[in-house]
């Protein structure tokens, strides 16, 4: 599949934003929202990557001005569900930020409900994004069980590191960040390793004989293509550039999103290492860059069944 950069930026960047919302909403639910304004910072800042990501996805459309129509078909379409929930998630966010700034009289339970809504909506948007891909039968690699957990995992990893960076500016971010995030980084490495191993071995669910309606086992080779130049199908579904560098890029991605964030995360909490916010910031940047390489491979290495005809 052709790796479109707008979609890669959308899924990784807004993934980081939703991860920020999930972690910071959980922290506020756990410690209570009166803890101090710096606890609100990651939650408020999370809207930035979420919005930039969503805008980037809108501009990859052929007709961005009609994007509002995508809210209508949530009964059947994961893309529609994603769009709808992404907009809905702004409501609790706006309520939380507004009441933190101006709403002195807002009851604690209303804040809790809003935080819980933000947490669940963020998780739901991430799940919808993953399901857009996981529901496509013509792309067998995306049907793998690890697709949904890895979309959630990358959001939690990059968002968690970003949240820990912001918390670390003012105080110690807590034990979850100290042990949880390096462990999550390594877990994501193992998950992707398994995914890559499986998609390399898994045979396609259909062969050319079946695509052409020939009896099973008849071998057909391309004698002449229908068109002399590339067309939309071969450009969009027949992307082959990455396969040459696939192995090396996988190792680079693993280094960036698993090994380096885990090492930097552990280093950041050593008593001797000084400014932990700086190291955590570096870990966040590495993880995001690694997620971008991983997402690029996710597209570039996925084979579409229509290429059986070519």
- Alpha-carbon distance 98 to 103, whole Å? 7
Q: Is 203 in the site for another protein (CB under 8 A)?
A: no
213: left (phi over 0), alpha (psi -120 to 50) or beta: left
Restricting to residues 81-100, name those near another protein by CB under 8 A. 83
User: How is residue 115 written in tokens?
Assistant: 């935080």
Q: Which one of 45-53, 186-194, 214-222, 284-292 is the stretch in contact with another protein (CB under 8 A)? A: 214-222
Q: Is 233 in the site for another protein (CB under 8 A)?
A: yes
- Kindly report the number of other CB atoms within 10 A of residue 104's CB atom: 7
Q: Closer CB to another protein, residue 51 or residue 77?
A: 77
Q: Is 192 in the site for another protein (CB under 8 A)?
A: no
Kindly state the smallest distance separating residue 174's Cβ from another protein, in Å: 39
Q: Is 11 in the site for another protein (CB under 8 A)?
A: no
Q: Is 5 in the site for another protein (CB under 8 A)?
A: no
Q: Which of 30, 35, 69, 245 forms a contact with another protein (CB under 8 A)?
A: 69
Kindly state the smallest distance separating residue 73's Cβ from another protein, in Å: 5
Q: Is 127 in the site for another protein (CB under 8 A)?
A: no
Kindly state the smallest distance separating residue 114's Cβ from another protein, in Å: 27
Kindly state the smallest distance separating residue 185's Cβ from another protein, in Å: 30
Q: Which of 105, 203, 226, 271 forms a contact with another protein (CB under 8 A)?
A: 226
Q: Closer CB to another protein, residue 105 or residue 217?
A: 217
Helix (H, G, I), strand (E, B) or coil at 275: coil
Kindly state the smallest distance separating residue 98's Cβ from another protein, in Å: 30
- Alpha-carbon distance 68 to 170, whole Å? 40
- Alpha-carbon distance 302 to 163, whole Å? 32
Q: Which of 37, 59, 72, 190 forms a contact with another protein (CB under 8 A)?
A: 72
Residues 6+ away with beta carbon under 8 Å from 60: 4, 6, 7, 10
Q: Which of 201, 227, 244, 248 forms a contact with another protein (CB under 8 A)?
A: 227
User: How is residue 246 written in tokens?
Assistant: 């696939």
Which of 304, 299, 309 minimizes the C-alpha distance to 60? 299
- Alpha-carbon distance 307 to 99, whole Å? 54
Where b means 16+ CB within 10 Å and e means fewer, 242-270 reads beeeeeebbebbbebbbbbbbebbbbbbe
- Alpha-carbon distance 297 to 246, whole Å? 7
Q: Which of 103, 138, 149, 174 forms a contact with another protein (CB under 8 A)?
A: 138
**Which positions lie near another protein, rule CB under 8 A?**
1, 60-64, 66-67, 69-73, 75-80, 83, 132, 135-139, 205-206, 210-215, 217-227, 229-233, 236-237, 304-306, 309-310
């Amino acid at each position: 599949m052709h790796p479109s950069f707008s979609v890669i930026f959308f899924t990784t960047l807004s993934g980081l934003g939703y991860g920020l919302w999930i972690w910071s909403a959980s922290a506020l639910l756990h410690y209570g929202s009166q803890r101090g304004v710096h606890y609100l910072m990651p939650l408020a800042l999370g809207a930035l990557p979420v919005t930039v990501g969503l805008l980037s996805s809108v501009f990859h459309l052929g007709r961005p001005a009609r994007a509002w129509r995508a809210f209508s078909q949530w009964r059947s379409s994961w893309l529609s569900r994603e769009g709808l929930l992404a907009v809905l998630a702004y409501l609790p966010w706006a309520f939380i930020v507004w009441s933190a700034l101006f709403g002195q009289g807002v009851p604690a339970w209303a804040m809790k409900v809003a935080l819980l809504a933000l947490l669940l909506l963020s998780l739901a948007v991430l799940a919808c994004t993953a399901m857009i891909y996981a529901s496509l039968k013509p792309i067998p690699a995306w049907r793998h069980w690890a697709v949904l957990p890895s979309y959630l995992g990358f959001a939690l990893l990059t968002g968690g590191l970003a949240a820990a960076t912001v918390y670390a500016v003012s105080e110690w971010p807590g034990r979850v960040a100290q042990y949880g995030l390096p462990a999550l980084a390594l877990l994501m490495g193992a998950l992707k390793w398994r995914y890559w191993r499986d998609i390399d071995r898994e045979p396609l669910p259909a062969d050319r004989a079946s695509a052409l309606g020939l009896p099973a086992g008849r071998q057909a080779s391309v004698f002449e293509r229908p068109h002399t130049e590339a067309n939309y199908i071969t450009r969009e579904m027949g992307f082959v550039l990455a396969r040459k560098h696939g192995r090396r890029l996988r190792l680079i991605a693993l280094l960036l999103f698993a090994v380096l964030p885990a090492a930097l995360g552990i280093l950041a909490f050593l008593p001797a290492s000084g400014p932990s916010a700086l190291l955590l910031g570096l870990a966040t940047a590495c993880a995001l860059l690694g997620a971008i390489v991983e997402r690029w491979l996710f597209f570039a290495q996925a084979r579409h069944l229509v290429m059986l005809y070519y």
